C-alpha cells in the first residue's frame, strides 16, 4: 500500500513537470473536494443519506469514480457527475478525501439488531472490513455510514446490479444461508450503531 | 461625484496598498490574516464566512445579516404540501459563531468601496480588506400590473422563504375542495429554475390527498422549462396530467399563459389572452439582484458583473458578489450554485489576501426536485472556467438529467438523496 502511494506520487510529479499548462488549469484537491460537500458533507463527512467520503482510501475512491464514469457501476446521479472530471482530478479528490478524518453519522438504530449484526460481522466480514468496519480498506469505511445508503448498496449487490468480488460473494452467500436477509439488516444496524 | 474612470483609478491605488499591507501581515504569522466583511447570511454569504475560517483561521470574518434566522427557499415547497415543518427549514448562526465568525444582526445601509467601510443601520462601521456581498434577490413588481410589495401580503410569491411560505401554506389549507391554485413562474433569469414546477408538483400532491377536485393552473411566461420531460412524466404517473381530471394544467406563453396583471381584490389574474379566476394566486415576479447590490452600485442591468474566477465585482475592486445576485451564467441561480461559488470565492479571497494568484476554480450544481411520494428527479452539471472569456462552462460529455427510463426504485432513491442533500448542504452552510 505504502509503496503504491510513493509510486503514484512519483508518476504524478513527473506528469506535472511535463505539462505546466495543464497544471495551471487543474483545480486543487481541496477545491475539487469542496464542490462535493453539498451532497457528501463538509470535508466528506455526511450527516444525510448520502455516503461519507472522508477517510476513504484514494484507490477505492478512484475505482468507484472510474466505475461510475464508464458505467460499470450503477448510479442515479454519480454517473453523470463522474464524467465531468479527468483522471488527474479524480486522483486529487481521492487524495483529499483520504486525508480527511471521517465523523460517523448520528442516526437511529435498533440495539438488538446491532448486537446480532456484530456477531455476523465478526464471523463473515471482519477479515476484510477490519476493526468492526471502521478501518479504511479496499471497500471504504462501513462503520458510521448512512444505514439507508448501506441498504441501497446491499440491495444492489444482492440483485447483481453491483458486482461483488469472489471473496465477498462467498461470505455473503454463507451469511444468507445462516440468517437470510434479516442478517443483512442486522449488519447494517451494527454499522449504523458505531457513532 | 467621482466619475467611474477616476473612481476605478482611485480604488486601483487602494488595492495596491491593501495587498502590500496584507503581505506584510502575512510575514509575521502562518496565515495571511486580513479582515473580511460578509454581507448577507443566506446560502452564499454563510458558506463563504464558514469556509474562509476553515481555509485560513487567521482571517477575521464578520458576517452582517439582518435576521437571526434564515429559512431556505429550497425544500420550502415541501412545507407547502405539509410534508415538512417551517422549523425544519430554519437555521441560525451559532454554528458560524463556533467557527469564529463574528455574527452581527444589523442592516447594512452603505458600502464605501474606496474607504472600504461598511455602515449599518445600527450606526456601526466595519472596515474591510475585502467584502463579500450576497444579497439574494429582489422582485420587479412593475412587470405585473397591479402588483406591489403590499399586494404580496395577500398574493404571496413565497420565493423568499419565511412568512411568505406560511401565508401560501395557510391559503392552501383554507381553500375549498374544487378550488384553483394559479402559479405564475417568472420570465428572465430567476432563482431556482425548476422550483415553480416542483411547487406545482408538491401542491398537486397535497390536493390529491386532501382536495382532489381542485387543480393547479400554471400560467407560464415561457414555452419550456427545466426538467420538463421528467416533470410531465411524473405528473402523468401521479396527477393524471393530460386527462380532463388532471390536478395540474400548464399553459405555455405561446398558449397565452404569460401573466401581465393581477386583481387581488377579485382574485383574478390577467394573462396575455384571457383572465383567470383563482382561489389561491402565487405569482413569482421577475427578479433582479437584491437591493443592496443596487445601492452599492454593483449592478449592470439586473445582476452584478463579476470575474467568475474570484467573484470579484467588475465594477468595484475588493468587493465580491455571490449567489443569486451575481451574473454567474452559465450556472443556474440555485442553492447548490451559491454554496459552490462561495467556496471558489473564499479560496480566491484567501489567496488574494496572502498576495497569491488564486488557484483554478471548479464548480458543480445538482438540483433535486421532489415530484411526489417516493419520486425524485435531478439535474447535475460539472463546470470549468474559461479564463480568456471569463465564462463558466459546462464540462462536455458530463452532466444531464435523470434518464426518462429510470426505474421507480431509482426515482425513490433520488427522493431519499434529495433529503440527504438537504441535510448535508444546510449543515455545510450553517454547521
Give the burial class of A180: count Cβ atoms within 10 A of its Cβ; 0-12 exposed, 13-18 middle, 19 or more buried.
Answer: exposed
Report the pLDDT averaged over residues B309-338.
97
Query: B362 contacts in A (CB within 8 Å)?
Result: 27, 31-32, 35, 89
Q: Taking the C-alpha atoms of A74, A75, A81 and A83 in order, what is their torsion angle to the nearest 10 degrees? A: 10
- Set of chain B residues whose Cβ sits within 8 Å of the Cβ of A46: 420, 424
C-alpha A150/C-alpha A191 separation (Å) is 9
Q: Does residue B344 belong to the interface with chain A, where contact is any CB pair within 8 Å?
A: yes
A35 touches chain B (CB under 8 A): yes
Q: Are residues A119 and A163 in the same domain?
A: yes
* Alpha-helical regions (H) of B211-327: 228-239, 291-295
What are the grid coordinates assigned to B194, written together? 425548476
pLDDT at A115 over 50: yes
Residue A84 and residue A123 share a domain: no
| B35-39 and B130-133 strand pairing | parallel
Examine residue A28 and state whether it is found in any structural domain, yes or no.
yes
pLDDT tens-digit series, residues B197-249: 999 999 999 999 999 999 999 999 999 999 999 999 999 999 999 999 999 99
In terms of Cα–Cα distance, which of B397, B407, B410 is closest to A76? B410
Give the end of a domain, one of A98, A128, A150: A98
By CA distance, what is A152's nearest residue in B? B413
Task: At B253, list the grid cell.
Answer: 406563453
Tally of domains in chain A: 2
Output helix, strand, coil percentages for chain B, rounded to the nearest 5. Answer: 35, 25, 40
Rounded to the nearest integer, the mean pLDDT of chain A is 89
Kindly determine whether residue A84 and residue B382, on different chains, have CB atoms separated by under 8 Å. yes
Q: What percent of chain B has pLDDT over 70?
A: 93
Structural domain includes residue A153: yes
Which of B380, B381, B424 is nearest residue A40 as measured by Cβ atoms? B424
Concatenate the DSSP letters of all residues of chain A into one string.
-HHHHHHHHHHHHHHHHH-HHHHHTS--HHHHHHTTHHHH-GGG--SSSSPP-TT--HHHHHHHHHHHHHTSS--SSHHHHHTTS-HHHHHHHHHHHHTSPPPPPP----HHHHHHHHHHHHHHTTTTSHHHHTS-BTTB--TTS-HHHHHHHHHHHHHTSSPPPHHHHHHHHHHHHHHHHHHHHHHHHHHHH--
Cβ pair B243, B237 in contact under 8 A: no
Q: Are A83 and A69 in contact (CB under 8 A)?
A: yes
- Pairwise CB contact (< 8 Å): B424 & A32: no
Task: Supply the range of the domain harboring residue A84.
Answer: 2-35+56-98
Does A115 fall in a domain? yes
Q: Which residues of A touch B381 (CB under 8 A)?
A: 84
Q: Does A154 touch chain B (CB under 8 A)?
A: no
Q: Cis omega before residue B91 (within 30°)? A: no
Domain end (from A46, A73, A98): A98
Contact criterion met (CB < 8 Å) for B340 and A38:
yes
Q: Which helix (H) or strand (E) holds B236?
A: helix B228-239
Give the gap in angstroms from C-alpha B406 to the nearest C-alpha of chain A: 8
Kindly tell me if the per-residue pLDDT of B51 is higher than 50: yes
* B contacts of A25 (beta carbons < 8 Å): 360
**What is the C-alpha separation between B309 and B384, in angstroms, rounded?**
10
Q: CB–CB of A80 and B364 under 8 A?
A: no
Nearest to B398 among A34, A48, A80 (CB): A80
Model confidence at B74: pLDDT above 70: yes
Do A84 and A135 sit in the same domain of this protein?
Answer: no
Q: Across residues A102-114, what is the average pLDDT?
A: 97
CB contact under 8 A, B427 and A38: no
Inform me whether the C-beta atom of residue B56 falls under 8 Å from chain A C-beta atoms. Answer: no
The ranges assigned to domains in chain B are 4-66+105-136+290-358, 146-285
Residues A8 and A89 reside in one and the same domain: yes
Average pLDDT, chain B: 93
CATH number for the segment(s) B146-285: 3.50.50.60
A105 occurs within a structural domain: no
- Alpha carbon of B413: minimum distance to chain A alpha carbons (Å): 8
Whether residue A8 is found in the same domain as residue A92: yes
Residues A128 and A68 in one domain: no
From B380, B375, B384, select the one nearest B408 (Cα to Cα): B375
pLDDT digits (tens, 9 = 90+) for A131-174: 999 998 877 899 999 999 999 999 999 999 999 999 999 999 99
Going by the DSSP 8-state scheme, the letter that residue B403 receives in this structure is P
Instruction: Answer whether B381's CB lies under 8 Å from B226's CB.
Output: no
Q: Indicate whether B8 pLDDT > 80.
A: no
> CATH number of the domain that A161 lies in?
1.10.760.10
| Minimal C-alpha gap between B148 and chain A (Å) | 35
Looking at the fold, whether A123 and A64 belong to one and the same domain comes out as no
Q: How confident is the model at residue B31 (pLDDT cuts 50, 70, 90)?
A: low
Whether A129 has its CB under 8 Å from any CB of chain B: the answer is no
CB contact under 8 A, A32 and B362: yes
Average pLDDT over residues A85-94: 97
| Poorest-pLDDT segment among A13-22, A47-56, A99-108, B264-273 | A13-22
Cα A35 to Cα B365: distance, rounded to the nearest angstrom: 9
Contacts of B195 (CB under 8 A, 6+ apart): B73, B74, B77, B159
**What distance in Å separates the CA atoms of residue B183 and residue B77, rounded to the nearest whole number?**
13
Task: Give CA–CA dist A194/B96, Å, rounded.
Answer: 27
Is the pLDDT reported for residue B24 higher than 80?
no
Who's near B17: CB < 8 A, 6+ residues apart?
A: none
A10-16 average pLDDT score: 42
Would the CB atoms of B431 and A49 count as touching at under 8 Å?
Answer: no
**Phi, psi for residue B357 in degrees, rounded to 5:** -70, 130
Q: How far is CA B242 from CA A74, B248, B353, in A?
A: 33, 8, 57
Dihedral sign computed on CA atoms, order B219, B221, B227, B230: positive
Model pLDDT for residues A32-42, shown as the tens digit of each residue: 999 999 999 99
Decide if pLDDT at B17 tops 70: no
Domains B4-66+105-136+290-358 and B146-285 are alike in CATH topology: yes
Flag whether pLDDT at B27 surpasses 90: no
Whether B181 has a pLDDT exceeding 60, the answer reads yes
A55 CB burial (10 A radius; 0-12, 13-18, 19+): buried
Q: For chain A, how far is it from start to end, CA to CA, in angstroms? A: 27
Integer Cα distance of B340 and B335 in angstroms: 9
Q: What is the pLDDT of residues B91-119, one digit of tens each?
A: 999 999 999 999 999 999 999 999 999 99
- Shortest alpha-carbon distance between residue B407 and chain A (Å): 10
Comparing alpha-carbon positions, the chain B residue that sits nearest to A105 is B424
The answer to whether B348 and B358 have CB atoms below 8 angstroms apart is yes
- Across the interface, whether the CB atoms of A39 and B424 are under 8 A apart is answered yes
ipTM: 0.90
Q: Chain B within 8 Å of A159 (Cβ-Cβ)?
A: no
Across the interface, whether the CB atoms of B343 and A40 are under 8 A apart is answered no
CA distance A99 to chain B (A): 15
At which residue does the C-alpha cell 477479515 appear? A127
Looking at residues B386-402, what average pLDDT do you find?
Answer: 95
Q: Are residues A74 and A116 in the same domain?
A: no
Residue of A94, A100, A138 whose CA lies nearest to B54: A100
Q: Answer yes or no: is pLDDT of B7 > 70.
A: no
Is the per-residue pLDDT at B121 higher than 80? yes
**pLDDT tens-digit series, residues B123-132:** 999 999 999 9
CATH for the stretch B4-66+105-136+290-358: 3.50.50.60
- Report the pLDDT value the prediction gives residue B30, as an integer from 0 to 100: 55
Residue B25 above 70 pLDDT?
Answer: no
Confirm or reject contact between B330 and chain A (CB < 8 A): no
The arithmetic mean of pLDDT across residues A69-92, rounded, is 96
Chain B partners of A50 at a C-beta cutoff of 8 Å? 417, 420-421, 424
Task: Specify the 3-state DSSP secondary structure of B37.
Answer: strand
* pLDDT at residue A25, as a whole number: 86
Q: Which residues of A touch B398 (CB under 8 A)?
A: 80-85
Q: Which of A26, A48, A84 has the CB atom closest to B399's CB atom? A: A84
Q: Does A41 sit within 8 Å of B427, measured CB to CB?
A: yes
Q: Which of B413, B419, B423 sits opposite A152 (nearest CB)?
A: B413
My answer on whether A21 and A64 are in the same domain is yes
B283's enclosing H/E stretch is strand B280-283
| Contacts for A172 with CB less than 8 Å, ≥ 6 apart | A124, A157, A158, A164
Q: Which of B345, B410, B411, B416 would you mutate first to test chain A, the one with the most A CBs within 10 A?
A: B416
B366 touches chain A (CB under 8 A): yes
- Asked if A47's CB is within 8 angstroms of B343's CB, the reply is no
Q: Is there a domain that residue A121 lies in?
A: yes
Cell of B405: 427510463
Mention every residue, 6+ apart, whose C-beta is less than 8 A from residue A85: A32, A65, A69, A93, B382, B395, B398
Residue range B334-374, pLDDT digits in tens: 999 999 999 999 999 999 999 999 999 999 999 999 999 99
**Given a cut of 80, is residue B1 above it in pLDDT?**
no
Amino acid at each position: 500500500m505504502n509503496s503504491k502511494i510513493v509510486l503514484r506520487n512519483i508518476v504524478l510529479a513527473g506528469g506535472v513537470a511535463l505539462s505546466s499548462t495543464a497544471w495551471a488549469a487543474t483545480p486543487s484537491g481541496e477545491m475539487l473536494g469542496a464542490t462535493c460537500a453539498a451532497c457528501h458533507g463538509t470535508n466528506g463527512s455526511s450527516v444525510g443519506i448520502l455516503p461519507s467520503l472522508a477517510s476513504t482510501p484514494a484507490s477505492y475512491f478512484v475505482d468507484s469514480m472510474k466505475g461510475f464514469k464508464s458505467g460499470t457501476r450503477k448510479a442515479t446521479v454519480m454517473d453523470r457527475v463522474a464524467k465531468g472530471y479527468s483522471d488527474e482530478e479524480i486522483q486529487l479528490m481521492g487524495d483529499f478525501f483520504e486525508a480527511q478524518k471521517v465523523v460517523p453519522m448520528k442516526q437511529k438504530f435498533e440495539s438488538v439488531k446491532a448486537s446480532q449484526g456484530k456477531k455476523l460481522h465478526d464471523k463473515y466480514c471482519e477479515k476484510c472490513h477490519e476493526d468492526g468496519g471502521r478501518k479504511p480498506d479496499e471497500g471504504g469505511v462501513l462503520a458510521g455510514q448512512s444505514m439507508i445508503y448501506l441498504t441501497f448498496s446491499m440491495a444492489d449487490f444482492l440483485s447483481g446490479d453491483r458486482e461483488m468480488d469472489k471473496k465477498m460473494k462467498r461470505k455473503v452467500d454463507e451469511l444468507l444461508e445462516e440468517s437470510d436477509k434479516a442478517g443483512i439488516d442486522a449488519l447494517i444496524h451494527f454499522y449504523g450503531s458505531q457513532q | 461625484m467621482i466619475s467611474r474612470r477616476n473612481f476605478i483609478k482611485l480604488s486601483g491605488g487602494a488595492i495596491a496598498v491593501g495587498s502590500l499591507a496584507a503581505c506584510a501581515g502575512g510575514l509575521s504569522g502562518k496565515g495571511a490574516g486580513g479582515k473580511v466583511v460578509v454581507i448577507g447570511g443566506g446560502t452564499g454569504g454563510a458558506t463563504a464566512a464558514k469556509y474562509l475560517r476553515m481555509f485560513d483561521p487567521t482571517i477575521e470574518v464578520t458576517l452582517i445579516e439582518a435576521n437571526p434566522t434564515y429559512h431556505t427557499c429550497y425544500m420550502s415547497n415541501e412545507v407547502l404540501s405539509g410534508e415538512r415543518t417551517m422549523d425544519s427549514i430554519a437555521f441560525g448562526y451559532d454554528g458560524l459563531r463556533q467557527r469564529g465568525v463574528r455574527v452581527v444582526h444589523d442592516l447594512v445601509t452603505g458600502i464605501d468601496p474606496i474607504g472600504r467601510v461598511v455602515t449599518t443601520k445600527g450606526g456601526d462601521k466595519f472596515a474591510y480588506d475585502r467584502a463579500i456581498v450576497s444579497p439574494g434577490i429582489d422582485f420587479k413588481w412593475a412587470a405585473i400590473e397591479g402588483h406591489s410589495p403590499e399586494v404580496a401580503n395577500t398574493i404571496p410569491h413565497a420565493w423568499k422563504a419565511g412568512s411568505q411560505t406560511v401565508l401560501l401554506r395557510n391559503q392552501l389549507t383554507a381553500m375549498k375542495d374544487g378550488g384553483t391554485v394559479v402559479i405564475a413562474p417568472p420570465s428572465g433569469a430567476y432563482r431556482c429554475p425548476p422550483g415553480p414546477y416542483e411547487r406545482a408538483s408538491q401542491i398537486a400532491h397535497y390536493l390529491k390527498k386532501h382536495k382532489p377536485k381542485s387543480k393547479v393552473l400554471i400560467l407560464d411566461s415561457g414555452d419550456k422549462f427545466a426538467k420538463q420531460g421528467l416533470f410531465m412524466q411524473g405528473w402523468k404517473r401521479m396527477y393524471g396530467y393530460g386527462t380532463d381530471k388532471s390536478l395540474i394544467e400548464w399553459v405555455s406563453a405561446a398558449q397565452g399563459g404569460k401573466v401581465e396583471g393581477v386583481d387581488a381584490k377579485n382574485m383574478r389574474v390577467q394573462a396575455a389572452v384571457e383572465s383567470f379566476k383563482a382561489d389561491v394566486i402565487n405569482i413569482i415576479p421577475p427578479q433582479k439582484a437584491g437591493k443592496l447590490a443596487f445601492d452599492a452600485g454593483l449592478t449592470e442591468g439586473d445582476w452584478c458583473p463579476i470575474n467568475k474566477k474570484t467573484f470579484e465585482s467588475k465594477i468595484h475592486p475588493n468587493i465580491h458578489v455571490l449567489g443569486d445576485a451575481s451574473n454567474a451564467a452559465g450556472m443556474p441561480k440555485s442553492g447548490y450554485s451559491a454554496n459552490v461559488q462561495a467556496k471558489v470565492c473564499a479560496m480566491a479571497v484567501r489567496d488574494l489576501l496572502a498576495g497569491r494568484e488564486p488557484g483554478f476554480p471548479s464548480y458543480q450544481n445538482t438540483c433535486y426536485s421532489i415530484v411526489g411520494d417516493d419520486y425524485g428527479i435531478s439535474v447535475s452539471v460539472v463546470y470549468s472556467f474559461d479564463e480568456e472569456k471569463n465564462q463558466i462552462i459546462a464540462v462536455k460529455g458530463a452532466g444531464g438529467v435523470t434518464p426518462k427510463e429510470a426505474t421507480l426504485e431509482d426515482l425513490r432513491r433520488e427522493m431519499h438523496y434529495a433529503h440527504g442533500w438537504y441535510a448535508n448542504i444546510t449543515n455545510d452552510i450553517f454547521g
